[in-house]
Amino acid sequence: MSAVRCEAITKLYPEGGGIRGFSVEIEQGEFFALLGPSGCGKTTTLRVIAGLETPDSGALYFGDRDVTALPPEKRNAAMVFQSYALFPHMTVFENVAFGLRARKMPKAEIGPRVAESLGLVQLEGVEKRPVTDLSGGQQQRVALARALAVRPDILLLDEPLSNLDAELRYATRAQLAELQKRLGLTAVYVTHDQEEAIELAHRIAVIKDGTCHQIGTPHEILHDPQTPFVATFLDRQRKAMRGG
């Protein structure tokens, strides 16, 4: 059974932009990337999956459950935003515990869960520090720990590495890939970075102007493009992999 199934999802905005007729089945434990240029509709798609946007038409399923009209808090999906969306007036502990308290987890269970989640992202011992004292890379990991703490069925990531410098981005990318594989997470990842999508994802949806042009493995996307846009968009990455 698929973890996420989008059936002809359409969400358009009066001012332009959005996604048209997007369909896909994302398998349990799959790392799935939504790839395309800015404004193509990939973040809209992610927000529909999260429940932050309601589709104009189409249906969305988590497993065999229709979640199209469910509010975000009833979907058991967790999102890591591009800006991290941490609470600057809170400590690391309070940030990671936020979702647990919102779900009314017993107080005695919150501390161990926060410690476990920070351990997963290699941030042990920083619970009492103000989140504003941390580096950008550390803040990104706090945001990831907060998402993992609620043990989501689906992990949604909206360009979470784009604010990091190149060296830290590469290192964090490797950590994220290892963590997703180790925990068996189903992850949906938005990026405009072709290299990032190819390195992380089992499959990629290439989107432009609200239309999905192709869904396939990195090898299929690179070596068997189905539309002129996919061929052109991935050409730079193909050349880089060939060394020229």
Residue 95's SS3 state is helix
Give the three-state DSSP class for 10. Answer: strand
Report whether 56 contacts 11 (CB < 8 A).
yes
> Does residue 244 have a pLDDT over 60?
no
Q: What is the pLDDT of residue 170?
A: 86
Report the range out of 121-125, 178-182, 209-213 with the highest average pLDDT. 209-213
Average pLDDT over residues 227-234: 94
Distance from C-alpha of 236 to C-alpha of 218, rounded to nearest angstrom:
14
Residues in contact with 194: Cβ distance below 8 Å, sequence separation at least 6, in sequence order = 35, 233, 234, 236, 237
52 pLDDT higher than 80: yes
State the pLDDT confidence band at 218, using cuts at 50, 70 and 90: very high
**Cα 51 from chain centroid (whole Å):** 14
In whole angstroms, what is the distance from residue 203 CA to residue 220 CA? 9
Pick from 200, 199, 197: nearest CA to 230? 197
Model pLDDT, residue 238: 66
Q: Name the pLDDT band for 207 (thresholds 50, 70, 90).
A: very high
> With bands split at pLDDT 50, 70 and 90, how would you rate the model's confidence at 210?
very high
Instruction: Enter the CATH code of domain 2-76+154-242.
Output: 3.40.50.300
Q: Is residue 199 within 8 Å of 177, Cβ to Cβ?
A: yes
Cβ neighbours of 74 (radius 10 Å): 10
What is the percent of the chain where pLDDT is above 70? 97
Q: Give residue-wise pLDDT tens across range 73-89.
A: 899 999 998 888 899 99
C-alpha separations of 56 from 10, 48, 67, 83, 126 in Å? 6, 10, 14, 27, 43
Specify the pLDDT at position 239: 65
Question: Which residue in 53, 65, 50 sits closest to 3, CA to CA?
Answer: 65
Domain boundaries, the chain: 2-76+154-242, 86-151
Bridge partners (DSSP) listed for residue 4: 26, 62
Task: Look at residue 7 in the predicted model and tell me its pLDDT.
Answer: 98
Q: Distances in Å between the alpha carbon of 175 and those of 85, 100, 180, 193?
A: 21, 24, 9, 17
Q: Determine contact, residues 206/35, Cβ cutoff 8 Å.
A: yes
| Backbone angles phi and psi of 204, in degrees to 5 | -135, 135
Average pLDDT, the chain: 93
Average pLDDT of the segment spanning 186-214: 96
Residue-wise pLDDT tens digits, 144-183: 999 999 999 999 999 988 888 888 888 888 889 999 999 9
Quick check: helix, strand or coil at residue 22? strand
